[in-house]
Every structure is written in C-alpha cells, then in structure tokens.
Structure 1
Amino acid sequence: MNTLRLALRLIALIAALLVALPLHGMWRLFRARSPWPRRFLGWCARIVGARAHVVGTPLERDAVILANHLSWIDILLLAGATGTAFVAKGELESVPLIGWLSSLNHTVFVARGQRMAVAEQVEQLRRALAAPWPVTIFPEGTTGDGTTLLPFKPALLAALDPPPPGLRVQPVRIDYGDATSDCVWGDESGQVHALRVLRRRGSFIATLNFAEPFAPDGGRKIVAAEARRRIEAL
C-alpha cells in the first residue's frame, strides 16, 4: 500500500504541474501576474497530505514573512496561503526541475556561508521586496525539530535598514501537530525525506499561525529578536 500511495501521489503531482504550467504560460504571455505558481504549490501541499489551517490574517504584499522551518512542506503551505516568494540557498537553483520551478515562484537564491557576498545578497532581497507579493525568510537557516526554535541569523534582515516605505514584518509559527515527527526534515537526504512523506498514510493538519505584523524599526538584530519572541509566544 505504501508503494501504491507513493505512485498515486507522484502521478497527482505530475498532473497538477501539467495543468498549471500551460495556464501560467498563458498569463505570462499577456504580461499579467500569474496566480498559478501559488495555486500549484497549494495543490502540492494537499497532494502530500497537508491540510492548511490558517490562524490570523496573512499579509499578501509589502511584507517580509519570518517563519520557523521544519520541512520543504513549509514552502508549499506558505506559498498556497499567501503567494509569497522565498529566499533559498543558491545550490537549489541548480537542482533539475526544482530549481526551475522555484524560479517561476520568484525565489531569491543566495550563497549562504559566503560572508563576502552578504552585501550582494542584501541588495538582491531589497529588489525582491519591491514586488507585489511577500517574501519569506527562514531565519533559522536550517530545519528544526518542531519543538525548539534555533537561533535566528539576522544578516539578510539588513535589507530592512532602512525599511522600504509601508513594509511590515510578519512572524509565522508552522506547526504539524501529531504529524511533526513524520514531517520534520532531519538528517536525511532530501530524496529520502520526500519519499517518506509521500508514502505516509492519510492527511494531517498543518497550522500556520500568523502573528500580528510589526514595523521593522531598530535594525536587523532587533527585528530578528522581536520576530523570534512573537513566534515563541505562539
């Protein structure tokens, strides 16, 4: 049954892609903002078994979303709920298919760990913040265990100093509830983790708890600390 479940979910993911890609192309042909990356990623979340439960009011533009990070499923859920783009490690851009699909969703690829490149990364993010959709950063820089927040890395938040006019920061706590142990991406390879999730029986509730947004005043360290405080409070 696990093998059959995996096969059916893979077929459904391919079918969703085959529906969304031509429609996305039609929207782009007329230079219109395409809703299809957001819809496709939302569909993918449901296909892998996640049922999003949104608490609070997500911002859909002029916002930086700062969220705890548990799994690649986070990306499907947040994109489906808000239409957000993401900041991701640069290596992802060269991954076949995944890198290309990420670029369709306006992903900002950054070279993490290269201190000399931070200024360029900050400028990339500032340009991305001018777009009419939010941008999500996972400030832990890696996936956690679902129960403890890791230290936040505030380097990229220098893009908010000074903040673009009208921009706000919205912290989000992602919680997979009883499915946390199944969904958290620990020391496994991406392929092993993805296959394990796709073989998982049934569905699960994934709660996206959106905190009250705040103005990013006071510098990157203060912004990171305030976002962390609000996520911990959730």
Structure 2
Amino acid sequence: MTTWNEGEYPIEAPLGVQGLIRLAWRGTVLALVTFGCLAVLLLVRLVEKPLFGLRRPWTPFITQFVCQTAFRIIGMRRRVFGAVMPQFGAIVANHVSWLDIFALNASKRIYFVAKSEVAKWPGIGWLARATGTVFINRNPREAALQKQIFQDRLHAGHKLLFFPEGTSTDGKRVLSFKPTLFAAFFEQPLRDEMWVQPVTLIYHAPDGAEPRFYGWWGDMDFAPHLLRTLAGVRQGGVDVVYHPPLKVSDFASRKELARAAEEIVRGGLDAAEMS
C-alpha cells in the first residue's frame, strides 16, 4: 500500500499540565463510551446475527451513537451538508484522518472497507470487526473473491464506504482515486442498480493552530496524534459534504467512474478553500 508523505509534519507543542488533565478526562470518557457500547453491540449481535445474517437492523444505531458522542466529548464541531443517498450502493470520500471513521459513521449506517491488516490492530481491529467492516486483501489473485464479498454485502443492503486514494493526506488536497475497488460495481447485476455517492471531508483546525492539525499521514504514529487531539484546549471541526450520487451504468468503465468521483470530491475541497 502506498503511503502519501509530503512536506514536514506540524510541530507538536508540549501538552502541559492542563493538556494532560483534558487528555485524561476526555480519554477516559471516550474509552468508557466506546468499549461500553461495544459490549452492548456484541450482546445485541448475538441475537441479530442468527435472525438476520449479514443484515444488521439494530447494531449500526449503536455505532452511530458512539460516533456522534465522540465529537461531543472531544469538543469538535461536525456539520453535514447534503444527505446520504437513499439508493443502493457505496460511498467514496477523501481520506484525512482516523477521525474520518467517526465523521462518516455519525451520519448514517455505513460499513467501511479496510485493508486486511487493520483487523489485526489492537483495539481498532476489534472495533472494526464488531461494526461490520469489510476487510480486503489487495492481492490481485484474490480479486474474484473480493468482488463476491462486495456483492454479498451490497445485496444485504449495506452501504459500503471506502477511500479510493488508498492513503490519508494532510487534508489540503485530494489524491488520484485508484479505480481498483470500483471494478466490483460493474459486475452484473450490480451495474444496473448501483449508485456511488462522492463525499468531501473538510477539516478546520482550531483557532491559531497549524492548518493541517487534524491530518494524519505518512509515518505519523497513531497514539501521539490521538493524544494531541484529545488534549487540545480549543477544537476546530469537520464538514461532511454529501454530493449527488452517480449511477454506475452511466459510465463506461471503472476508470471513468473513479475519475468523475475524484473530480467532485476535489471540487468540494477547492470550494471550501476559496470561501
């Protein structure tokens, strides 16, 4: 997997005593909410799974609650423009930070597509598996299997969400969308019934902070970034912009669809930068 790494990382100031206090309070509350609700989710899933299989009519609401509550605990503003499409299909967005997961899950019941390595990450891997994340292996020899997994989940009514850039950035640009994962949408009968909705994530740094404050990219470690975010005396926000969905059958190939979605997402970020 390619990792985007350009320019110098923002200089991290010492947390200080007050920062440590905020970190301890916010971190404790966030952990209690997250893992407490995870326990509830797993209990509910014991009943939900044998009754509904891949479909999850109840547990996604628990995930939404956790994600919405996380922003309140951190003190970040989250604004939503547009709405999640009602059509059958998938959502694609630019990738800036681990916060993307909270920002996108807070709005609607969706299921992330992540690289298989994420399933092995301590803590995050457990949460991802419990919330129904689709794990993929980018080995070309498993392409047929990956397509079948996509189709099974889509036919179960799941809205899948993935980041076509394949890596995260500093939030000030949109990289080229890789067309690989769009291929499954062109298989029959999905092609005639699938829609893809582009989403732009726009992060606003706290007043006086480095503009790339919320970006998490390159070789930046997760733990220090998480701690710095939780310890901030001031917080900024994130705008989630849902653009009109694209009908897959209107495009001749996965490359054309990926390019169209990329241009729309980039246009949303450019418009925000100019405003």
Query: TM-score if structure 2 supplies the norm length?
Result: 0.78
Aligned residues: 233
Secondary structure, counterpart of 2:119 in structure 1? helix
**Equivalences for 1:84-233 in 2 at 5 Å?**
84-112=110-138, 114-162=139-187, 163=190, 166-179=193-206, 180-187=211-218, 188-217=220-249, 218-233=252-267
Cα 1:205/1:60, change in 2 over 3 Å: farther
**Over 6 Å off, 4+ runs:** none
Per the alignment, residue 83 of structure 1 pairs with: 109
Deviations 1:47-104 (CA, angstroms, capped at 9, x unpaired): 2333210001112662211100000100111001112110111111011221111012
Q: CA deviation at 1:24?
A: 2.2
Q: Which structure has the larger Rg?
A: 2
Residue 20 of structure 1 is matched in structure 2 by: 37
- In 2, distance between residues paired with 1:61 and 1:133? 11
Q: Does 1:48 align with 2:82?
A: no
User: What is the identity, as a one-letter code, of the residue corresponding to 2:126?
Assistant: W
User: Structure 1 CA distance, aligned partners of 2:127 and 2:100?
Assistant: 16
Deviation at 1:143, TM superposition (A): 0.6
Tell which deviates more after alignment, 25-34 or 71-80.
25-34
Q: Provide Cα deviations, 1:176-205, integer angstroms capped at 9, x if missing partner.
A: 123451100023112222222122223322
Whole-Å separation in 2 of the counterparts to 1:61 and 1:37: 21
> Please, which runs of 5 or more residues in structure 1 have no aligned partner?
none
Runs (5+) with no aligned partner, structure 2: 1-17, 49-56, 269-275
Residue by residue over 1:94-148, the C-alpha shift from the partner in whole angstroms, topping out at 9 and shown as x without a partner, is 1122111101211011123x33233322222222222333111100000122222
